[in-house]
Amino acid sequence: MNGHLFLGEQVRLSSDDPLKKAEAFSRWRRDSEFSRLLDSGPASVWSVSKIKEWNEKYEDKDPYSEYFFTIHTIEDDRMIGFIGLDGIRWNHGDCWVGIGLGERDYWGKGYGTDAMRIILRYAFSELNLHRVSLNVFGYNPRAIHSYEKAGFKHEGSIRQFLFREGRRWDLVHMGILKEEWEQNARRDG
C-alpha cells in the first residue's frame, strides 16, 4: 500500500478552506494570461465572494463525480495552484483532468508535472479508472511538454477551436491509458 498517495517530490495535493481558495483564485484570475491558458471562455475578473459561492455550489454536487485538490509546495507549504479530475464516466472508466498554477514564479520548474504524476497515480490506483483525458490550447507549449513528460500521448487536435488575439488556434487532445501509466511506473522504478 502507498502511504504517500498525495505526496510527490516537489508538491503535495491538499485541501483548503473555501475562503482561502476563493481569495487565491480571485487574485490568480486577474492575471489574464493565466485565465487564457486555463479557459476557453472570455477571460474576466471575479470577486472573492462570487468565486466562493461557485465553489460551494460545486462542492454540493455529487461527491463521486469530481475530485479537486489544491497544490502545495513541499519546501514551504505554499498553495500555488489546483488540480482536479472531473467529468468522470464511471461506466467507461474515463475522466478529465484540469490543472492550473496561479503563482507564476512556479511555472516551468516541474511543479505541475509533479502534481500531474500524483493525480494520475490517484486516478489509476485509487479510483481505478481506465484512462485520463485532457485538452490544452495550441498556444501553450509549456503545458503540452509537461503533459508529455507525465506520460500523456497526443490523440489529435480540434482544428482552429480558439479565436484569440486575432487568430485561430487548435485545441490539442491528449490521453493516457492505465496500461501506459503502469509501464512508465515500471520503467521509472
Tell me which residues touch another protein (CB under 8 A): 40-42, 89, 91-94, 130-131, 133, 153, 155-163, 168, 173, 175, 177
- Minimum Å gap between C-beta 58 and another protein is 17
Helices 111-125 and 141-150 cross at an angle (nearest 10°) of 40
- Minimum Å gap between C-beta 138 and another protein is 12
* C-beta closer to another protein: residue 145 or 168: 168
Distance in angstroms (rounded) separating the CA atoms of residues 171 and 135:
6
DSSP annotation of 43 reads: P
* C-beta closer to another protein: residue 6 or 178: 178
Write down the residue that cell numbers 509549456 correspond to: 142
- What proportions of the chain, in percent to the nearest 5, are helix, strand and coil? 35, 30, 30
* C-beta closer to another protein: residue 15 or 40: 40
Query: Dihedral of the CA atoms 119, 68, 144, 31 (nearest 10)?
Result: -140
* C-beta closer to another protein: residue 121 or 131: 131
- Minimum Å gap between C-beta 45 and another protein is 16
- Minimum Å gap between C-beta 96 and another protein is 10
